[in-house]
Copies of this chain bind each other. A is one copy, B any other.
């Protein structure tokens, strides 16, 4: 609830700047973006399918799950949100939400009104491009997830998941030495990967036995990164973490 979040540590700016060079003006405008801070407990819906939100959520810390529910009540998590992500940036241009988002852990959130975001984009076309790019990267992650869910068997599917999360968390300073905190339950993992909890559990045991992963509570350690990457057929290109934009 404190309004003391230091804007120079804003993980959004940090993340976008890692691939995008802002001018002083642009960075200043981003920092000046009015943001209403809040702390949300775990397992709360931040928004629901069908909502027509008038603001976006910048995730400052914690983990969120973006999900949809099938007719039979089965939940599919389609993305995990980590620090620096705006899980509902698409609501800026799509009136109705076609997905829900809930917190998986306690989350520090910065709410930014669509109005302020639109103003910012209008004044700074390159910031528009940067935000647009963020949504395109999310799309690239979706494509990779479809490949993962549709074509890989459980073992390498789960391996791929760990690879992706480790790289994404590393990019915002939340992973070191091939280790990270990953407060995601086996049930949630199954919901994200199109598997049952039971099957996730059995495969994880096999992966531990094979020395692919080590877990202690929510801490995950990867003893052999190359091996995990190989099992998960992981190539980080789709995360577009390099500054590969053509525009000047």
A positions within 8 Å CB-CB of B: 49-50, 52, 54, 66, 68, 70-72, 74-76, 78, 90, 93-96, 98-99, 114, 118, 121-122, 125, 128-129, 132-133, 135-140, 142-147, 149-152, 156, 193-194, 233, 237-238, 240, 242, 244-247
Bound together, the chains give a CA A149 to CA B138 distance in angstroms of: 18
List, in ascending order, chain B residues with CB within 8 A of A142's CB: 78, 139, 142-143, 146
User: Are A132's CB and B133's CB within 8 A?
Assistant: no
User: Are B147's CB and A150's CB within 8 A?
Assistant: no
**CB closest chain-B residue, reference A243:** B95
List, in ascending order, chain B residues with CB within 8 A of A150's CB: 76, 149, 193-194
Bound together, the chains give a CA A45 to CA B204 distance in angstroms of: 38
List, in ascending order, chain B residues with CB within 8 A of A98's CB: 140, 143-144, 237-238, 240
Bound together, the chains give a CA A133 to CA B139 distance in angstroms of: 13
List, in ascending order, chain B residues with CB within 8 A of A143's CB: 66, 68, 78, 98-99, 142
User: Are A151's CB and B76's CB within 8 A?
Assistant: yes
Contact of A90 among B72, B136, B237 (CB under 8 A): B136
List, in ascending order, chain B residues with CB within 8 A of A121's CB: 125
Contact of A147 among B76, B96, B133, B238 (CB under 8 A): B76
**CB closest chain-B residue, reference A118:** B247
User: Are B128's CB and A94's CB within 8 A?
Assistant: no
Contact of A151 among B151, B194, B238, B245 (CB under 8 A): B194
